[in-house]
Chain A
Amino acid sequence: MGAFAHYLTSHFSTLRLEFWGLLVGGVANGLIYGMVAVGYTLVYGVLRLINFAHSEIVMTGGFTSYFVLRGVIGTSIPNGWATVWILVVGMVAGGVSGAVMAMLVERVAYRPLRRRRAPQLAYLISAIGASYFLFNLAGKEFGRVLLSVPQPYINHPIFSIFGAPVQLYYMVIVIASAAMLILADQFVGRTRLGRGLRAVAQDSETASLLGVDVNRTIALTFALGGALGGIGGFLLGLGTGVVYTMGFVPALKAFTAAVLGGIGNLRGAMIGGVLLGVVESLSIAFVQPAYIDVVAFGILVLVLLVRPTGILGERLGRAA
């Protein structure tokens, strides 16, 4: 009893000391999870399928932006407007390559099955195959070692919240992901294409009768989710470097975030992402770093068992 009480008090004091720092890191990570989770949630909304290959879209975004940044950034670390410019270029590279890869995956691994009306198990297996194929191919071509991404800035604390320094990297994540999430939300909610997407999610047959090209809309869904996933990959790579397996764990956590927020629900994905990021980050005070992933899985299992529809509720047929 005494030992346990001691464990709690000591760890809670760690938590009290580190709280704001952990919170900042958690929110930043969580926003990346949220961005990746949008990909899961959109595809789920339209196809009722979990896109197992989404982790490799994150990886693709990471690698492409790595190559682009390596080309753009010279020997000296840029500053000022050059930094902003390079960050935008990196985001575009990650986003475009992610979107292209997502559409390719849809085309190769899903569309032939959809045409045949294959059972659901077939989609899952095909997507797992695609995922394994892609990341191991990347490992073969680019080496199986962590490559550090050339930095477009000197990562220094720019201000502090309650004594916890907020680094430039976190600010970049917050600004980029908030902008992207708002854009995606507005796109799905307000544009003509977004309306088509929602129509297909609700009832694909009726939508196609009313003139929505279902195949194209599905491709668009993958592209949109893929773009956000690719940008997520760029931001992840900026912080931790790129490696062929970089997509796996973040994508699994993003999936957890999507379920946590209510799968099929775009805003839920963002909330779930931030929540998961924060919980995971704060749990650093209690468990050894090796068990952080166990915490995320534990949350996933718990959510699925206790409230499988997530916080905001599943929005089947009302993607976004």
Chain B
Amino acid sequence: MSRITTALRTPMSRRLITSLATMAVVALMTGPSGSATQPTVGPSGSFGEHVSIFGLFPGPRWLLFFIFALVMWGIWSFWLRRGTTIRTAASTLTTPPKRAFAHRPVRWGFYVVLIFLGVIFPHLVTSQYWQSVMVEQIAVFVLLALGLNVVVGFAGLLDLGFVAFYAIGAYATAWVTGSLPTPAPFGIHLNPFFAIPVAIALVMIAGVLLGTPTLRLRGDYLAIVTLGFGEIITIFANNLYGITGGSYGSGGVTGKHGIPHFSINLGPIHYRWTLNPVPYYYLILVFVVIFIVAFSLLEHSRVGRAWTAIREDEVAAESVGINPLKYKVMAFAIGAASAGFAGVVTAAQTIFIFPATFTLQVSINILALVIFGGMGSIAGVAVGAMVIQTGSMYLLHTPPAGYQPADLYMYLGALLMVTMIFRPMGLIPSRRRRREIVLTESGEGHMNEVLSGENP
């Protein structure tokens, strides 16, 4: 008996067990779904279903995944060398952070090419589905991720109720355009363009109101309180039938009229946005560029440095005269602004809004974009948002066998966990953040005391 347990404890067999377990989980994740009447159909089908292995010969799925596990074990044991983490850490510590495209003309040229690509992009996408997805699911989520990045990435505060700001932006738009069951303020029905400043002002106020009391709390408490805030907003949106239309959406029970599209009436220029997604794409593109420029200026400003200081060591930051609460509230309000704008666009574009659009799952989705892209890295967050949202929309459009739309969050959850375990700095790391993570993990910084058991 003891011989067996010793044999199981060798690195080789440990890796084998981990490989087998990982592949078993992957087999479960990618397998057919179970049903309520026979819940065991799912797990047994996930392993037992017959598939064609590489189109060559038919066999049960478990055999396929068993082979995968052996391959994984082989690569892990004989190919990957240990000790790379230490070397990476050492090199990150010794080399100063470098900037991609250090040469200024090259950098500007790169930006111009990017914007050009952004402008011609909708003309390369011909599919109706992808054109609307591009706006509703990709561009809007880039905006949301940029906003959450200010809170999570720059200031290091975990906000699990970010969707609340998105919802407030959308409902504010519906309100000032007179499309909610409750009358518009002063009876004036505004064009959504004028809803933008109103909505952004409202979400920033909401950010300050929520932030001022709660941002004194420790990080983990803050996460739970913001989660509660997000839930409360959804509960109210769902139940205040007289004000928000409840679960019937902004139209209410009667479904009176939708939220108007954007329109411009400036002297001789008259233009009205329609259901066509392309004009909306350009509208969002302009705002994405504005938000990216503003947030990156902010990142390197006095405020951005204050956020970094608070994130790295709050006590030290306070001792050099930074008021942590003030800057944290600022991060909350500024991050909320882009979510508020995303809400305005969503409201105007989708005509009717429903509480079901603003659930906790959306918050987690946005968080996954930020984490996967790289906390604190604007480029990373934007790219991460595009990659994940494109992937999830692809899965929705052409689902592989056994995939259900609701499975998306299973994959996003796994992605969050895997990113944190293997690449906490994300896809395109922010230079500062990478250094910070490496420093903390090699024993510098304040978090060690917290985790090694001394009182913080």
Contact = CB atoms under 8 A, between A and B. Distances in A.
Interface of A: 47-50, 52, 67, 108-109, 112-114, 116-122, 124-126, 128-134, 136-137, 139-145, 147, 200-205, 207, 252, 255, 259, 288, 290-291, 293-294, 297, 300-301, 304-305, 308, 316-317
Contacts of B454: 203
Contact of B421 (A52, A112, A124, A145): A112
24 contacts: A48-B451, A49-B220, A67-B39, A108-B421, A109-B420, A117-B451, A121-B158, A124-B219, A125-B158, A125-B416, A129-B414, A129-B415, A133-B417, A140-B33, A141-B39, A141-B46, A143-B42, A145-B36, A259-B221, A290-B235, A291-B235, A297-B229, A304-B225, A305-B213
A139 B413 CA distance: 13
B429 interface: no
Contacts of B231: 293, 297
Contacts of B410: 132-133, 136-137, 139-140
Interface string B406-418: 1101101111111
Interface of B: 28-29, 33-37, 39-40, 42-43, 46, 85, 152, 156, 158, 160, 213-214, 217, 219-221, 223-225, 227-229, 231-232, 235-236, 238-239, 364, 367-368, 371, 375, 404, 406-407, 409-410, 412-421, 424, 436-437, 440-441, 443, 445, 447-448, 450-456
Contacts of A50: 220-221, 223-224
Nearest to A305: B213
B427 to A, nearest CB: 15
A126 B421 contact: yes
A151 B447 CA distance: 48
Contacts of B420: 109, 113, 118, 122, 125-126, 129
Interface SS, B side: helix
A152 B236 CA distance: 38
B406 A117 contact: no
B39 A252 contact: no
Contacts of B447: 117-120
Contacts of A142: 34, 36, 39, 42
A308 B440 contact: no
B413 A133 contact: yes
A143 B451 CA distance: 39
B284 to A, nearest CB: 27
A52 B29 CA distance: 21
A119 B217 CA distance: 17
Given A130-B417, A132-B410, A301-B214, 13 more contacts: A109-B421, A113-B420, A117-B441, A117-B448, A121-B219, A133-B410, A136-B409, A136-B413, A137-B29, A140-B410, A144-B36, A147-B39, A252-B228
B450 A132 contact: no
Given A141-B39, A142-B36, A143-B34, A129 B406 contact: no
Contact of B443 (A48, A67, A117): A117
Nearest to A44: B220
A125 B224 contact: no
Contacts of B413: 128-134, 136
B29 to A, nearest CB: 7
Give the 3 A-B residue pairs with the shortest CB-CB distance, closest first. A129-B416, A132-B413, A133-B413
B376 to A, nearest CB: 11
A145 B36 CA distance: 6
A137 B29 CA distance: 7
Contacts of A116: 85, 441
Contacts of B232: 294, 297
A89 B394 CA distance: 45
Nearest to A242: B39
Given A122-B420, A126-B420, A141-B39, A255 B455 contact: no
Contacts of A294: 232, 235-236
Contacts of A48: 450-451, 453, 456
Contacts of B407: 136, 140
A316 B451 contact: no
A129 B364 CA distance: 9
Nearest to B368: A129
- Considering residues A67, A128, A137, A293, which has the most beta carbons from chain B within 10 angstroms of its beta carbon? A128
Nearest to A117: B441
A317 B404 contact: no
Given A128-B367, A200-B453, A144 B417 contact: no
A301 B28 CA distance: 38
B209 to A, nearest CB: 12
Contact of B158 (A113, A124, A129): A124
Which residue of A134, A147, A304, A317 has the most chain B CB atoms within 10 A of its CB atom? A304
A129 B417 contact: yes
Nearest to A108: B417
Given A288-B239, A291-B239, A141 B36 contact: no
Contacts of A200: 453
Nearest to A243: B36
Contacts of A139: 406, 410
Contacts of B227: 252
Contacts of B238: 290
A132 B409 contact: yes
A37 B239 CA distance: 29
Given A113-B421, A128-B416, A133-B414, A118 B453 contact: no
Contacts of A202: 453
A288 B246 CA distance: 14
Contacts of B35: 143
B241 to A, nearest CB: 11
Contact of B235 (A52, A109, A293): A293
